[in-house]
Copies of this chain bind each other. A is one copy, B any other.
Amino acid sequence: MILKYKGKTKDVYSLSDNQVLLKFKDDVTGENGVFDPGANTVGLTIDGAGKSGLKMTKYFFEVLAQKNVLTHYVSADLNEVSMIVKEAVPFGKGLEVICRYRAVGSFLRRYGAYCTEGQKLDALVEVTIKDDERGDPTISDDTLAELGVLKREEYAVLKERTKEICHIIKDELAKKDLELYDIKLEFGRDKATDEIILIDEISGGNMRVYKGGVYISPLDLEKEFLG
């Protein structure tokens, strides 16, 4: 098993047959010792964070598989804290697709002149480019097309698929009285088939979830949701 890439929260190993193994780590992103899924730097190490993220990810990818949503998921091994996935090619240097149900975080920081904190949003989709140095700027469909990152038709596919997937996740969380405020997904092209598929993980580290108006941290979320 050859180490392909050391990520902030996961290491990636090459397998045969266009598959890779993702090893979830206990490193989490954050600043000043506080776990912040939106941060770009690894802030701290929390025992069990990797396994917690994998449990959530396994759960959601298996729900999506039942609903015939195309994803990179093959299997997960909770003991080894690893997941086998189809190898995928990212769009450009990587895009993040955010789906927003309430105005919080960077959305509120940008558009606070036009909305109030926690205001409902109708599954609003935004795309950002993964670029730590430039603060992960948002990017429009026109700009993605102009810079050759994504065709307009592909953007439309990404947007619709994001809404579909996020509604499923939102509904799952709602079963435990948990409310999804926003969530960040990643997509890529299946290396074998070139189809657009959901990649990366789906865990507390990718979403903001509240219960009765109170924010639930990623690790508490796993306990509330799966415990």
Contacts and interface: CB of A to CB of B under 8 A. Distances in A.
Contact of A114 (B110, B114, B149): B149
Protomer copies: 2
A48 interface: no
A215 interface: no
Given A93-B113, A113-B93, A113-B131, A146 B121 contact: yes
Contact of A147 (B114, B147, B148): B114
Contacts of A92: 113-114
Contacts of A131: 113
A92 to B, nearest CB: 6
Interface residues of A, number: 29
A143 interface: yes
A134 B148 CA distance: 29
Q: Considering the complex of A and B, which 10 residue pairs feature the smallest CB-CB distances, nearest first? A: A110-B137, A114-B147, A113-B131, A124-B146, A140-B140, A121-B146, A93-B113, A115-B147, A124-B142, A110-B134
B112 A134 contact: yes
